[in-house]
Structure 1
Amino acid sequence: MRVGIVGAGITGLTLTHALAERGVDSVTYEASDEAGGVIDTRVVDGHVLEVGPQRLRLTDQLEAMVDSLDLRDDLVEADDSLPLYVYADGKLRVVPRSLSAFLRTDLFSWSAKLRVFAEPLTDDAKPDETVAELFTRKFGREAYKNLVEPILGGTFGSNPAEMPVKHSLEGVMKLEQRRGNLLVPAAKRLLGPGESPPPASFDDGLQALPQAIADAHDDRIRLEAPVDAIREAGEEVVVETADGEVEHFDEVVVTTPAGETANLLEETAPESADALRDLTYNPLVLVHLVSDVDASGFGYQVRRDEPLRTLGVSWNASLFDRDGVYTAFFGGMDDAEILEKDETEIGQIAVEEFERVMDADAEVLHVEKMPSAFPAYDTSWSALDDVDLPEGIHLATNYTARMGIPSRVREANSLAKQFAEERP
């Protein structure tokens, strides 16, 4: 068994690590000169900034990988009981995480609270309904508008009214099928101690994880080795690099964004390549701010009808003692125009809106534009139904499965286990 891996982001790196642990031969190709993909930590004026995911959830699989890479001493765990806020009607309002907090919260009216408890009487989720339709029907308009829409919409940078459930919330559908409703498992997750893995990072930022994997397996990873094409060759799969190198594998796993993947598969699966090119990605702008404000919590998401362009702000200063650092997010499906503004103007918007919400001064540390940051999970993703790849070629990506570091690690480990079991 010999496995080729295209892309040294966290999915490709985890697969590399998991195959090495199982004694399966592999080669990982990365076009850039650095491993990590969207996980990108930088130091600006002495401040640790995440230009990508702001944190991870320390699942069992991630914890095992951290220990196998001797990163335990560098691990920083945040307090999962810290509050998360939604900015609504000109005020930060706490997202309730207990029954008593739910009853006390001013995020919902009393009629909206009572409507939430009627969820078990509603019909099951339908794959073709939108996220907005599902949660409005399940929990009521006010709960959707004040909680679900800003949390999910802000996280995905998408309008939930444009996101079909089958593409963005497959896990929710499966959860409902197992439990019979969504209210009970949602309440258990909120009210039950220790239900969620803790949020975590590392002393020097998240990039410590992919860098440790790359260092541990540098004999398997080829940096500055862009792949030009992937094609069938009998029972094997051929990977051809830009410098003309050709290698044969039993299995090839592609972890790159949809557009790049389409180019690689043009020769061997042209119809699938065309389908992948139809997928929509959302733009994102990150503005890293520094402020002396004494704020404790995860941060806040902004309700969509507020007169702000900010989608949300992560309070890394509070979570990981990041010396006054706050990360503000802009863009998304409904505000792609912000990419056209220069960084100075974007920074001014970020500061003004942060000061309006937090009532505290802030300064800009860094502005990062990401024209194609992450999948939109909108109606364009129906094109995935037309993706049919030859045997031996696999996709392991955030557009064929879930986003987030734990999901990427889980998918990579699953593939590694499959390949190891199939080994002659």
Structure 2
Amino acid sequence: MGKVFDWKRRKGNVMGSVFMFPEFGGLGLKEKVLCGMAFVAFFLFGVINGDAVYWNNSKVTAIEMVFSVLVLSAFGVRDFVRSPYVWIAVFFFIAVLGINLVGGDWGRASGMAAHFLFFAATFVLVSRIHSAALAVLLGVAAGAVWGGIRMIVAWYLMEFPSGFDWLNDPPGFANIRHFGYLLCVASVVGYWGGAKVTLSSKLLFCLVFFFSFSLMLWSGARGAILASVSGCFFLFVIFERLRAPGVMVLYIGLLVAAMAVSAKFPVDQKGMGWVKAFDRSVQVKSLNGISTNRFAIWADSVHEIKQHPFLGNGGEAFVRAFPDGFAVQAHNGFLQVTLEWGGIFSVIFFTVVLSLFLRGVVCCRRGRADSVYLYAGLSLFSTLFVLSLYDGVFYHAMPSAIFSGACAIILAEVKRLQAPLSS
């Protein structure tokens, strides 16, 4: 489907609105430019996904590389080198390149390298500029809102929108489920923003939550909905401000409104809409049916992992093993990583990221009042990690890049918050 309208003409207005937040008020020109770059990078992740998976991944990789070079050129790598995780990152940078190239797949190799560099650059940026974390969150939210606006405009420009193939040919995305990856993260960002003090900021994030959740329910993406609910529930448990009665009533009302609005625009496709998603789940006769053949895909992945259990099968291992299959990835983060990298590197990777997550949770439980961005990073991590249990977070570049950014925010905030606590 052709472009509904040219987003490039309005990107200046979108980015200019970022600096309306008081958190950016005391920054110099250099700091504002770098925060603007972070916003643009995460915004672009959400608006360049209209091509085939390979080209979408390549574009995200290019954005990550450019961003990483610019940030690391501005600040250097000293902050990252001082981090206790640096040796692990360097080790993985080298190992993943080699392992992915076993299959001769430069795309997967460059993608994984870009994610690690992007993690390092985002960590350095947030370490130097605390409010850069807000720019990241706003970029994610803006990308989701922009994608939703394109959907809405396309709907009203069509003569019979309910009969259009929204599932497989949505404007701006190769598949509506890929839009769900972005929406579930943006909805959690919108919920996190309910803790903002100023009325204007709170209103903006409430609108992001309502808009993202409405579109997610309309799309019928069960996995994205489950991941979003889990991320919001995690925030509710650890973030005391979100347990205030007024905030609870507000977001319950927004959720009910989102359900009502999304049901007003039905689509004549089995996979669209939360009502049909619920019907699909209760009418199927097997677990494999409920999971949309996930169990069969996982069984095939386990069989391939057994062939090379320790060092993996290289980049695009699933596609090479099943060239005529209906899936291009394992639809499970642990299986995807183990299939490509092998059991050794998979265990190390998940041990490191989960230990980082737990460090962040422990730091939050100490009740620091200025740890709001740590809550945000942890919620993005938990949302995408849940989504990775049954979808392609570690295969598609867009959610992988956001996951890298979430890990970087967590590490930077833990380092910042623990420094005075340890003295």
The TM-score with structure 2 as length reference comes to: 0.27
Structure with the bigger percentage of strand: 1
Higher RCO (CA < 8 A, seq sep 6+): 1
The TM-score with structure 1 as length reference comes to: 0.27
Name the larger-Rg structure: 1
Structure with the bigger percentage of helix: 2
